[in-house]
């Protein structure tokens, strides 16, 4: 008998069918990859396994874990299984953690509940588990709160909570989404080590085929609540016999059709950044000492021409977003100069910045978080129009919004909807429409596709490439995804600890990085073909 057996699983919520005849198995010590687009049913399969479904949900079929009938088990039995026998790593660590409890309390809580040990023993076991996931007591005391940790460190805490009781099965739902590639590699190595050490099963849910190809022995591919393809990872992803498997694989390595520009369309740069530095107040070492400043950005200089597409890559915390905020005049540098069309931005008042703001807009990482959920699309997309010298009439505004929506592949009828009525990819298109409505010359895109599945990511990259060719929009892409940088940009800059340590033609830098930071990013970046080649070599 397998550790986990799911047979003919159907799930409906109210009148909506969510899962249809899902079959999958996981053996002890095995990693199974569960892959599919957003809305394919991956997470709902995991939540059914954990019995964490909404009230109107109805599941049928057979779900057996280590001989226990999950669907028929009483809630008391499930309470004993969750955490103790089945651990779960949720996608977003900040929402999975309690912000008012220390990390020590949160790891020890499950140990005290399930193992029945006293507080001291639970704290000792929590400390040992946090040390095992790379958060030693000397640097990360149990008294720290989640907001005091980075994204990768918070994800390690979530893994520590899930693994504290040495479960037989670990369910990891997109455990590395939005982490930089180096942190992602570290988290995946940690999960692989825990599987090897404890012989536990791992259900790895992901939309990244490269990650699954590197981690999983077998893969199950889902779409619209149904299993499309299943089998040994190397064979499934190499042969691509099923049309949907082939579609996902092509989307994972998709490169938009675009005409790379030379050094720009004009001699004068659109954007000039010269010796920009940003210092923040640091912490006091003692009561009477002065706080030492923390330098987030140090002496950065570069130029971006009209119609050019440039990537800024680097690890989380290296200063990318701080630099972007200064370029957008949302923060002022401690020293240095930022010019748009030769016009200095750092000394201007907020009112004097209005013409510059018309010419530069931003696309954020999380489109849903950047919209007011109470407003309709018409108002949301039209927000930047207040920057225009002459305010459009009601009919002119609707016409401009309709035009912006059409340019990103949406219809005029969408302007009367709310953000929650759109998919993730459609919401990102709305973000781009909002950025385009003032006809800017520069768009700063801060991780615009990191949280999107591969199919939607390919569509958004195609859209960026089309707008670049058709409207001559210049882009500054801030990303940790080197596949995105390679697909959509002409030039790339590598940032490390606040400094630009390498720059040049995108292909040249990413194919042959010279800096240690660049080499680390390239080595850690997931690559589907490289992962499949390793599997072929291992079989030989």
pLDDT, tens only, 171-183: 998 888 767 788 8
Region of residue 104 (left: phi > 0; alpha: psi -120 to 50; beta: else): alpha
CATH (domain of 397): 3.40.50.300
62-73: string of b/e by CB count within 10 Å (b at 16+)? Answer: ebbbbeeebeeb
Q: How many domains does the chain have?
A: 1
Give the pLDDT score at 263: 46
Average pLDDT over residues 401-414: 90
Mean pLDDT of the chain: 88
442-467: average pLDDT: 84
Are residues 468 and 256 in contact, defined by beta-carbon separation less than 8 angstroms?
Answer: no
Q: What is the DSSP string of 66-118?
A: TTEETTTS-HHHHHHHBTTTEEEE-S-HHHHS-TTS-HHHHHHHHHHHHH---
The per-residue pLDDT for 15 is: 87
How buried is 142 (Cβ within 10 angstroms: 0-12 exposed, 13-18 middle, 19+ buried)? middle
Phi first, then psi, for residue 261 (nearest 5°) are -85, 160
Q: Is the pLDDT of residue 248 over 60?
A: yes
Grouping H, G, I as helix, E, B as strand and the rest as coil, residue 473 is coil
Q: Is 174 part of any domain?
A: no
Tell which residue, 172, 174, 149, 147, has the closest CA to residue 161.
172
Query: What is the spatial distance between Cα 486 and Cα 332, in angstroms, rounded to a whole number?
Result: 30
Cβ neighbors of 403 (< 8 A, separation 6 or more) are none
Please name the residues in contact with 42: beta carbons below 8 A apart, sequence gap of 6 or more.
34, 35, 36, 173, 205, 222
CA dihedral angle for residue 277, residue 279, residue 285, residue 288, rounded to 10 degrees: 120
Q: Over the range 436-471, which residues count as b (16 or more CB within 10 Å of their CB) and which as e?
A: bbbebbbbbbbbbbbbbbbbbbbbbbbbbbbbbeee
Q: pLDDT-based confidence at 264, cuts 50/70/90? A: very low
Residue 217 and residue 236: Cα distance in Å, rounded?
A: 11
Q: CA 69, CA 74: separation in Å to the nearest integer?
A: 10
Q: Residue 414, SS3? A: helix
What pLDDT sits at residue 178? 63
DSSP one-letter string for 345-410:
-TT--TTTTHHHHHHEEEE-S-TTTTS-TTS-HHHHHHGGGGGSSSPPPHHHHHHHHHHHHHHTT-
Task: Pull the structure tokens for residue 240.
Answer: 């691509």
Name the pLDDT band for 410 (thresholds 50, 70, 90). Answer: confident
Is 371 in contact with 430 (CB distance < 8 Å)?
yes
The per-residue pLDDT for 324 is 92
Share of the chain above pLDDT 90, in %: 52
pLDDT at 539 over 70: no
Q: How many CB atoms lie within 10 A of CB 487?
A: 23
Q: Are 209 and 234 in contact (CB under 8 A)?
A: no
Structural domain contains residue 204:
no
DSSP state of 483: H
What DSSP string describes 290-346? Answer: PPPPEEEEEEEEEEE-TT-EEEEEE-TTSSHHHHHHHHTTSS--SEEEEEETTEE-T
Query: Could you tell me which of 246, 161, 175 has the C-alpha nearest to residue 204?
Result: 175
pLDDT tens sequence across 83-96 = 889 999 987 777 78
Residue 197 maps to a domain: no
User: What is the C-alpha separation between 339 and 175, in angstroms, rounded?
Assistant: 40
**Domain carrying residue 348:** 271-284+291-532
Of these ranges, 151-160, 179-188, 342-351, 497-506, the one predicted with the greatest mean pLDDT is 497-506
Detail the DSSP E strand segments found in 207-293.
218-223, 226-232, 271-280
Instruction: Give CB contacts under 8 A, 24+ apart, made by 135-142.
Output: 135/103, 135/160, 140/103, 141/104, 142/102, 142/103, 142/104, 142/105, 142/107, 142/108
| Residue bearing tokens 């918070």 | 154
Per-residue pLDDT at 305 exceeds 50: yes
Cβ-based neighbour number of residue 375 at 10 Å: 14
At residue 335 the predicted structure's pLDDT band, cuts being 50, 70 and 90, is very high
Lowest mean pLDDT among 8-17, 266-275, 417-426: 417-426
State phi, psi for 269 to the nearest 5 degrees: -65, 150
The answer to whether residues 508 and 214 touch, using CB atoms and an 8 Å cutoff, is no
Average pLDDT estimate for 491-510: 94
Q: Is residue 116 situated within a structural domain? A: no
Beta bridge partners of 36: 222
**Structural contact between residues 233 and 50, judged by C-beta atoms closer than 8 angstroms:** no
Task: Report helix angle 119-132 to 151-163, nearest 10.
Answer: 130
| Token couple for 430 | 């709305």
3 state SS of 51 = coil
For the beta carbon of residue 335, count every other beta carbon within 10 angstroms.
11
Beta bridge partners, 273, equal 302, 338
Q: CA 296, CA 278: separation in Å to the nearest integer?
A: 6
Span of 138-152, 328-342, 391-405 with lowest mean pLDDT: 138-152
Total residues found in the chain within this entry: 540
CA distance 498 to 295: 7
């Amino acid at each position: 008998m397998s550790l986990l057996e799911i047979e003919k699983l159907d799930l409906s919520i109210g009148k909506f069918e969510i899962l249809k005849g899902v079959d999958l198995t996981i053996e002890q010590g095995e990693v199974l990859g569960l892959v599919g687009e957003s809305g394919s049913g991956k997470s709902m399969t995991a939540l059914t396994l954990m019995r964490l479904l909404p009230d109107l949900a109805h599941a049928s079929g057979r779900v057996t874990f280590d001989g226990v009938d999950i669907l028929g088990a009483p809630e008391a039995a499930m309470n004993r299984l969750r955490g103790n026998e089945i651990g779960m790593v949720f996608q977003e660590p900040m929402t999975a953690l309690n912000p008012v409890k220390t990390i020590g309390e949160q790891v020890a809580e499950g140990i005290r509940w399930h193992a029945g040990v006293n507080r001291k023993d639970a704290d000792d076991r929590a400390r040992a588990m946090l040390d095992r996931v790379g958060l030693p007591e000397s640097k990360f005391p149990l008294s720290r709160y989640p907001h005091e940790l980075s994204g990768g460190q918070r994800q390690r805490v979530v893994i520590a909570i899930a693994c504290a009781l040495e479960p037989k099965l670990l369910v990891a739902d997109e455990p590395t989404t939005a982490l930089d590639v180096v942190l992602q590699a570290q988290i995946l190595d940690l999960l692989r080590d825990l599987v090897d050490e404890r012989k536990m099963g791992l259900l790895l849910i992901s939309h990244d085929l490269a990650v699954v190809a590197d981690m999983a022995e077998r893969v199950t591919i889902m779409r619209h609540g149904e299993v499309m393809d299943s089998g040994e990872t190397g064979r499934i992803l190499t042969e691509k016999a099923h049309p949907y498997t082939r579609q996902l694989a092509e989307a994972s390595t998709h490169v938009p059709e675009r005409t790379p520009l030379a050094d720009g369309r004009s001699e004068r740069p659109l954007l000039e950044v010269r010796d920009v530095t940003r210092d923040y107040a640091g912490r006091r070492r003692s009561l009477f000492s002065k706080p030492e400043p923390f330098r987030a950005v140090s002496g950065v200089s570069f130029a971006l021409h009209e119609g050019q597409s440039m990537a800024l890559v680097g690890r989380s915390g290296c200063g990318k977003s701080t630099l972007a905020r200064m370029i957008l005049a949302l923060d002022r540098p401690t020293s240095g100069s930022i010019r748009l069309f030769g016009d200095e931005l750092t000394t201007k008042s907020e009112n004097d910045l209005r013409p510059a703001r018309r010419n530069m807009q931003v696309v954020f990482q999380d489109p849903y978080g950047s919209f007011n959920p109470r407003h309709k699309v018409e108002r949301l997309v039209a927000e930047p129009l207040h920057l225009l010298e002459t305010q459009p009439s009601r009919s002119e505004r609707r016409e401009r919004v309709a035009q912006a929506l059409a340019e990103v592949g949406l219809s005029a009828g969408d302007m009367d909807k709310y953000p929650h009525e759109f998919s993730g990819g459609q919401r990102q298109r709305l973000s781009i429409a909002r950025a385009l409505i003032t006809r800017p010359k520069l768009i700063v895109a801060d991780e615009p596709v990191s949280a999107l599945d591969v199919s939607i990511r390919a569509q958004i990259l195609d859209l960026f490439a089309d707008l670049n060719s058709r409207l001559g929009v210049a882009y500054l892409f801030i990303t940790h995804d080197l596949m995105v940088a390679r697909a959509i940009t002409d030039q790339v800059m590598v940032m490390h600890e606040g400094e630009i340590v390498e720059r040049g033609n995108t292909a040249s830098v990413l194919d042959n990085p010279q800096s240690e930071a660049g080499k680390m990013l390239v080595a850690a970046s997931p690559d589907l073909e490289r992962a499949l080649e390793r599997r072929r070599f291992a079989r030989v």
